[in-house]
């Protein structure tokens, strides 16, 4: 069947990351203009540090601070600067302040300021946002997390922290809150200088309550301590690093023993200004700070000041309690059922209720009944999100809803409802499945119900059995290490689903490392008040007694390994009682930083002291934690949850160490790197555990990475520069039109980039067309000419964001591409008419900016800019070819490959095909082929016609299976890319030849553009020539482009005879050139994977079931895995899904002698995700069946659809990655029309 289709111009986009999650899936996968908040930078604002006695070029006046003097010097350089913050006199740790500079003349300002005498350093100011939300109530929660951390054992000894002050740097505090008012010592407003400590956001009030709250139902970690607040926020949820710095210096100046900071920026660099100053303050103060809430970003997303040396950075652990509340359902039979219910936020319904209760026959997503006024509904829990269900319930008129668990979804807090439901409902609660069973039995006898709730009821359950994540590291908790491989977080504490005080006398529930941080500050208050004020000993006790938590994936809701990675949790969950009780304490560093392969420190000394009265003999053991793969094959950081690897490290240490009473002992441990390659990116960790004869154990965490941080580099390749066509929404090579860009008309190339790792400085610069990277010096020197460096650009967005000047410093890593446009240089200077290139540059970690070798430097293709009526100087070329643009600025060893979607998402094992008849294709040069020989498919043909216009011919697997296309999996798409730069005669023809192994080539289609016909395609099976005319339209257009594909397939006899290996398909084109498409093939026939679809009545709705059967002939294998997911509305039904092995029947394609292997093979089954892995072999005519079943969230929807991936690990080491297959059930099948506009071009006629 012949079929044509306009194709997405994916070939233009160099893939920047192999997908490791749905969140970070590509470089150019959606148009996203970079904003100043994306970059993290506050435009035009800089923190300046003065040298001791620094005052600028001139002597200060008597009333002038050092910062004010420097501002005068800045203005003398032609800038317009003012003082924003002045830190003079706050603390001797840091002398300086913040200046604000007009963006109209801001370019190499940092280097200019650094050159002013007396200036020590300059940093850009970064945004800081409170990335948390609160659900509030007027009631006081009866909640106690202190058993979980063993703090209760300390409280039972009447340790309350009385007399100890904790200094909190945050958003303010409700000084009249009944749970706090007796524990507030005062504070300072550093935001606007007023006396008010008002907390508009609630964040500081909540944080403070974790430390000192004290009322009948709820108390903090140290309810006898006091809070001193440093307010650095106004009435929104953002502040900046200079105010954080101001708060830190003020707390230091006030001699605070304990400083708690639940704020930070996403600049995980050791020498970021807040990290550096926090490190200095931490030399004498206990500085405790949040690790951050960006766990989804995966490793290497630490924050500042959390990465500061000596700072205690705190990760988050999910609370182990669920607050359930009592209610009663009364039946008209006279019977009643006492139940417990859980609300989305954990708060109870705080009113007395006696309401009519209707048992609905549908589910929560498809309520069938209508409510009387003030009524409640009891329904089965559907598979749609609860926010959707809430809207459905409200639309049916109900004020109250009880939803009993179904499909094994669980009985716990519903975050989706709490965050996404905005309707008017008084109660939405989840109850156990048994409630539904009881009500159904009563209703079957004709009885009706009432719901009774007592407002004064106390919680009745702290059960965590229904909460998969309870007691595990929170998904949102940021991973370390820093970009310099320093450990952060250092430890973890309760921060997930935490209760606390909120302004106006209310209480709230929230989650974040913002709340695990004050928990540790509260523990410090207990220790300082009741043990001793020794920050170093406290930190060593805290870390060495913490408990390692398992590796738990919140996405999969399952434990992946017994010991989770140190990069995620630090030393683990704190044990408060052990902090106080241990007699043997650590004297050496609390954590061992092994760094990367360039900076590896293999041998470390551990020193311990026995404060007890008896000798202690320690058994020394090495307990490794899970090793994670920190990066993918393109060296982009793997996002949450990064894959676990088998890389193992060995440790040489004494087996026994004896420490006499009152004595000190030390010993050495030496680490041997994992049995993995030095550039694998394996992030390995664990603990050295000392188990004492006194039944006390201490442990020291360690962390290292198998990678050169220096060689990693932020850039996979240079920034990609494109022309964006606003009419078609397409990206083209940068000089596609041959016309100059005009800044006055808003014209600008789009410059796309992403960061796979950190960099101290990144810039996008304008350079002359003849500039080479060998000319680069730092700092760059601006000049004029064809080989000159002109300067960095000013990002000038089209919409109303603030402009942002390059360079960017202390870059916030992101692996999804964003683009910038520009109209001028960063200093506001217009770009003169000329030919230019983009220089993109990034400084390597541990690099020296003054050494050009320590920079990644890339140049783009050239393009023209025209200023006013000034002509653009002549250039040898006005058009850039597609091939050049698609790999612009990319070293040959790292050139991006144009691959099919399934290939780009493969692991680093083998890129391979999953079908005999329709192998995948790729044009990558560095992919690893499957075992086997290389075969070239050529054709003896000599096409004629237009030369040099066929840019690319590429085979790939058919991507859009149609119910109208028989045996869809055997078909391939031959993608054809045509570029015709100038008008051609009307009788012109485009030709290329196709090898005889490829058959059933579609022809006879009419090519068209904008209503004009170019003519019909033809394919001569004898000559193997494919051709089409360009038509009259091509005589008066230029820069014509065609991008389409034609269906074809391999000859069936040839396909059956194909052996595993590499196939190079050659396509001769006019002029004697030959284009190639490379195929990596394994002898696995996708057509033999049999699918059977069925729809049957089930539980009041329809069950959609798909049997996917894989025969033994696809092996021998080590394992076969099927994985799939659903949209947000529909859901899988686990007890109707399974894995089975049986014998194939030739007659009716049914399995016989079936064995159920579901329990051993099901790896994951949730309402939205399903994964099963069969790890045994089959023999003879045996068949493996995966049964995947689900129901609709919306019973009125037309379709139920999911896409599954089938992977096979063959015993010969080959990984077969099947194409993603769509399974679609339609209640009312429909056909859809196709469009046939294939060519575009510009009018070339004069006038």
- For 4, the enclosing helix (H) or strand (E) is strand 4-6
Residue 757 class from Cβ within 10 Å (0-12 exposed, 13-18 middle, 19+ buried)? buried
Does 717 qualify as catalytic in the annotation? no
Contacts of 1115 (CB under 8 A, 6+ apart): 1177, 1178, 1208, 1210, 1211
10 Å Cβ neighbour count for 1103?
17
Tell how far CA 3 is from the center of its chain.
38
Q: What residues does 1097 pair with on adjacent strands?
A: 1102
DSSP SS3 for 271: coil
* 274, 300 contact by CB (below 8 A): no
The edge-to-edge listing of strands for the beta sheet with 135-137 is 135-137, 506-510, 498-502
Residue 1232 class from Cβ within 10 Å (0-12 exposed, 13-18 middle, 19+ buried)? exposed
- Alpha-carbon distance 568 to 314, whole Å? 10
Tell how far CA 197 is from the center of its chain.
36
Between the CA of residue 445 and those of 370, 439, 442, what are the distances in Å? Answer: 21, 10, 5
The catalytic residue among 20, 514, 763, 824 is: 514
In Å, the largest CA–CA distance within the chain is 103
- Alpha-carbon distance 66 to 81, whole Å? 14
Instruction: Give the Cα-Cα-Cα angle 378, 415, 377 (nearest 5 degrees).
Output: 10
* 148, 320 contact by CB (below 8 A): yes
DSSP SS3 for 3: coil
Residue 301 class from Cβ within 10 Å (0-12 exposed, 13-18 middle, 19+ buried)? buried
How many residues are present in the chain?
1247
The catalytic residue among 155, 177, 203, 530 is: 203
* 1185, 1087 contact by CB (below 8 A): no
DSSP SS3 for 668: strand
The catalytic residue among 24, 95, 170, 1085 is: 170
- Alpha-carbon distance 1159 to 1172, whole Å? 10
User: Which letter, b or e, does each residue of 880-900 get, where b requires 16 or more Cβ atoms within 10 Å of its Cβ?
Assistant: bbbeebbbbbbeeeebbbbbb
- For 1158, the enclosing helix (H) or strand (E) is helix 1158-1161
Contacts of 836 (CB under 8 A, 6+ apart): 766, 767, 768, 769, 790, 862, 863, 864, 865
Does 787 qualify as catalytic in the annotation? no
Residue 1165: closest CA among 1134, 1187, 1139, 1188: 1134
* 508, 502 contact by CB (below 8 A): yes
Tokens of 238: 């953002």
Per-position DSSP letters for 832-844, written without gaps between them: PSEEEEEEEEEEP
Does 1238 qualify as catalytic in the annotation? no
According to DSSP, the β-strands at 603-610 and 616-624 are: unpaired
* 1155, 1195 contact by CB (below 8 A): no
The edge-to-edge listing of strands for the beta sheet with 258-261 is 184-189, 226-231, 165-170, 258-261, 286-290, 312-318, 491-496
According to DSSP, the β-strands at 1162-1165 and 1169-1174 are: antiparallel
| Residues carrying an active site annotation | 170, 203, 514
């Amino acid at each position: 069947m012949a079929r044509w289709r306009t194709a997405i111009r994916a070939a233009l986009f160099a893939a920047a990351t192999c997908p490791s999650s749905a969140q970070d899936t590509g470089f150019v996968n959606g148009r996203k203009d970079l904003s100043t908040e994306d970059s993290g930078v506050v435009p035009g604002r800089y923190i300046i540090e003065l040298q001791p006695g620094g005052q600028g070029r001139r002597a200060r006046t008597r009333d002038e601070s050092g910062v004010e003097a420097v501002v005068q010097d800045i203005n003398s350089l032609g800038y317009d600067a003012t003082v924003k913050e002045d830190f003079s006199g706050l603390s001797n740790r840091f002398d300086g302040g913040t200046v604000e500079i007009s963006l109209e003349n801001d370019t190499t300002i940092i280097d200019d300021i650094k050159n002013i005498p007396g200036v020590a350093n300059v940093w850009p100011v970064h945004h800081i946002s409170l990335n948390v939300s609160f659900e509030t109530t007027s009631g006081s929660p009866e909640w106690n997390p202190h058993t979980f951390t063993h703090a209760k054992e300390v409280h039972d000894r009447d340790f309350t922290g009385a007399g100890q002050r904790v200094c909190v740097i945050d958003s303010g505090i409700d000084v009249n809150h009944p749970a706090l008012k007796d524990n507030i010592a005062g504070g300072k407003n550093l935001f606007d200088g007023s006396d008010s400590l008002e907390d508009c956001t609630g964040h500081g009030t909540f944080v403070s309550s974790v430390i000192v709250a004290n009322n009948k139902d709820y108390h903090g970690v140290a309810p006898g301590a006091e809070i001193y607040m440093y307010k650095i926020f106004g009435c929104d949820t953002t502040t900046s690093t200079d105010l954080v710095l101001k708060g830190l210096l003020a707390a230091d100046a006030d001699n605070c023993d304990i400083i708690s900071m639940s704020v930070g920026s996403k600049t995980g660099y050791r020498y970021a200004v807040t990290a550096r100053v926090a490190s200095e303050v931490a030399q004498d103060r206990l500085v405790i700070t949040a690790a951050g809430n960006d766990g989804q970003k995966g490793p290497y997303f630490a924050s500042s000041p959390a990465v500061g040396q000596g700072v205690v950075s705190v990760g988050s652990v999910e609370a182990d309690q669920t607050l359930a509340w009592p209610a009663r359902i009364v039946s008209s039979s006279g019977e009643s059922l006492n139940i417990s219910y859980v609300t989305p936020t954990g708060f109870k319904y705080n009113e007395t209720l006696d309401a009519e209760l209707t048992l609905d026959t549908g589910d929560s997503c498809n309520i069938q009944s209508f409510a009387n006024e003030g009524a409640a509904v009891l329904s089965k829990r559907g598979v749609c999100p609860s926010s959707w269900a809430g809207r459905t319930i409200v639309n049916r008129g109900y004020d109250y809803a009880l939803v009993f668990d179904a499909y094994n979804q669980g009985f716990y807090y519903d975050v989706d409802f709490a965050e996404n439901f905005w309707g008017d409902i008084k109660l939405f609660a989840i109850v156990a499945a048994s409630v539904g069973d009881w009500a159904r039995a009563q209703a079957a006898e004709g009885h009706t119900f009432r719901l009774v709730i007592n407002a004064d009821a106390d919680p009745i359950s702290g059960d965590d059995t229904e909460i998969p994540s309870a007691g595990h590291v929170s998904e949102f908790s940021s991973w370390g290490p820093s970009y310099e491989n320093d450990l952060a977080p250092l430890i973890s504490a309760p921060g997930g689903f935490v209760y606390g005080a909120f302004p106006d006398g209310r209480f709230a529930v929230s989650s974040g490392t913002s709340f695990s941080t004050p928990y540790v500050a509260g523990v410090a208050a207990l220790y300082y008040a009741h043990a001793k004020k020794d920050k170093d000993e406290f930190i060593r006790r805290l870390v060495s007694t913490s408990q390692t938590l398992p590796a738990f994936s919140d996405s999969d809701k399952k434990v992946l390994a017994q010991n989770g990675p140190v990069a995620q949790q630090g030393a683990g969950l704190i044990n408060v009682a052990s902090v106080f009780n241990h007699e043997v304490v650590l004297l050496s560093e609390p954590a061992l930083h092994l760094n990367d392969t360039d900076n590896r420190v293999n041998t470390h000394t551990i020193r311990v002291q026995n404060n007890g009265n008896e000798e202690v003999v320690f058994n020394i053991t090495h307990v490794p934690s899970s090793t994670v793969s920190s990066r993918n094959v393109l060296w982009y950081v793997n996002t949450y949850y990064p894959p676990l690897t088998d890389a193992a490290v060995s440790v040489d240490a004494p087996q026994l160490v004896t420490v006499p009473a009152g004595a000190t002992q030390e010993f050495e441990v030496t680490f041997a790197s994992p049995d993995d390659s030095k550039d694998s990116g394996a992030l390995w960790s664990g603990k050295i555990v000392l188990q004492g004869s006194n039944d006390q154990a201490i442990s020291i965490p360690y962390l290292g990475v198998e990678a050169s941080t220096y060689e990693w580099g932020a850039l996979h390749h240079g920034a990609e520069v494109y022309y964006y066509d606003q009419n078609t929404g397409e990206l083209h090579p940068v000089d596609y039109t041959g016309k100059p860009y005009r800044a006055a008309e808003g014209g600008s190339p789009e410059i796309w980039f992403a960061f796979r790792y950190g960099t101290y400085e990144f810039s996008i610069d304008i350079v002359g067309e003849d500039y080479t990277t060998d000319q680069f010096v730092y700092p760059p020197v601006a000049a004029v000419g064809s080989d000159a460096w002109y300067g960095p650009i000013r990002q000038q967005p089209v919409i109303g964001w603030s402009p942002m000047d390059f360079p960017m410093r202390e870059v916030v890593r992101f692996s999804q591409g964003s683009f910038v446009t520009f109209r001028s240089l960063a200093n506001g200077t217009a770009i003169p008419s000329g030919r230019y290139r983009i220089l993109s540059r990034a400084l390597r970690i541990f690099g020296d900016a003054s050494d050009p070798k320590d920079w990644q430097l890339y140049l783009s293709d050239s393009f023209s800019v025209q200023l006013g009526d000034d002509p653009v100087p002549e250039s040898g070329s006005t058009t850039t070819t597609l091939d050049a643009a698609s790999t612009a600025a990319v070293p040959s060893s790292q050139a991006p490959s144009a691959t099919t979607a399934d290939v780009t998402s493969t692991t680093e094992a083998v890129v391979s095909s999953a079908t005999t008849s329709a192998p995948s294709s790729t044009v990558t040069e560095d992919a690893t082929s499957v075992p086997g020989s290389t075969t070239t498919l050529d054709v003896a043909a000599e096409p004629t016609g237009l030369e040099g216009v066929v840019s690319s011919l590429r085979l790939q697997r058919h991507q859009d299976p149609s119910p109208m296309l028989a045996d869809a999996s055997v078909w391939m798409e031959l993608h054809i890319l045509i570029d015709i730069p100038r008008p051609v005669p009307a009788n012109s023809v485009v030709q290329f030849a196709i090898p005889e192994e490829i058959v059933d080539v579609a022809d006879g289609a009419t090519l068209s553009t904008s209503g004009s016909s170019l003519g019909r395609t033809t394919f001569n099976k004898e000559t193997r020539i494919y051709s089409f005319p360009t038509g009259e339209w091509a005589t008066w257009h230029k820069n014509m482009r065609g991008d389409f594909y034609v269906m074809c397939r391999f000859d069936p006899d040839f396909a059956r005879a194909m052996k595993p290996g590499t196939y190079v398909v050659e396509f001769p084109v006019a002029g004697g050139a030959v284009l190639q498409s490379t195929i990596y093939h394994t002898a696995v026939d996708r057509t033999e994977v049999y699918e059977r679809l069925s729809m049957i009545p089930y539980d009041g709705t329809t069950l959609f079931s798909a049997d996917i059967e894989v025969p033994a002939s696809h092996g021998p294998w080590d394992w076969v895995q099927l994985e799939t997911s659903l949209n947000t509305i529909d859901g899988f039904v686990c007890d109707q899904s399974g894995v089975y092995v049986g014998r194939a029947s030739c007659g009716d394609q049914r399995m016989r002698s079936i064995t159920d292997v579901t329990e051993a093979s099901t790896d994951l089954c949730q309402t939205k995700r399903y994964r099963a892995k069969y790890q045994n072999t089959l023999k003879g005519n045996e068949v493996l069946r995966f049964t995947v079943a689900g129901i609709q969230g919306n019973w009125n929807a037309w379709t139920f659809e999911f896409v599954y991936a089938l992977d096979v690990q063959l015993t010969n080491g080959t990984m077969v990655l099947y194409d993603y297959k769509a399974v679609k059930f339609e209640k009312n099948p429909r056909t859809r029309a196709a469009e046939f506009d294939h060519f575009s071009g510009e009018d070339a006629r004069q006038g």
